Structure 1
Amino acid sequence: MKCKSGVEILIHVGLETIALNGEGFEAHVKQGDIIKVCDPLVSFDLNSIEEYAADSITPIVIN
């Protein structure tokens, strides 16, 4: 996400989740959407991530 102030925020759900090919994830926004506070961004199946991904840790990077 990129804020009007220029701050960028990256939220990465789980580690090595690319191997899941989107299974267990549902995006509620797409690139270019304008979001507001409390808008849902993504839903995910935590059990699936814990079983099939390397880790369920979710790094949040602010730049």
Structure 2
Amino acid sequence: MLLDIEVKNLKSFKNETIFSMEVENITENRNFFEVEIGKEKFQLLKTAVLFGGNSNGFMLF
């Protein structure tokens, strides 16, 4: 299960970048699910999308 990814100095990511699947603000539409790992409960997004303009280095990732 993917919780987050941290990259730094990898291809087009010079600075540290964190891509997290954890919910920050709970909304009414409940587009997330809850999992329990050990004694901790996590609220994770069901889907995520990476996007950007042309020639921004997404093909290098």
Range class of TM-score, shorter chain: under 0.3
* Greater radius of gyration (CA): 2
- TM norm structure 1: 0.27
The structure in which a higher percent of residues are helix is 1
Give the number of the structure whose residues are more often strand, by fraction.
Answer: 2
- Structure with more contact order per residue of length (Cα contacts < 8 Å, sep ≥ 6): 1
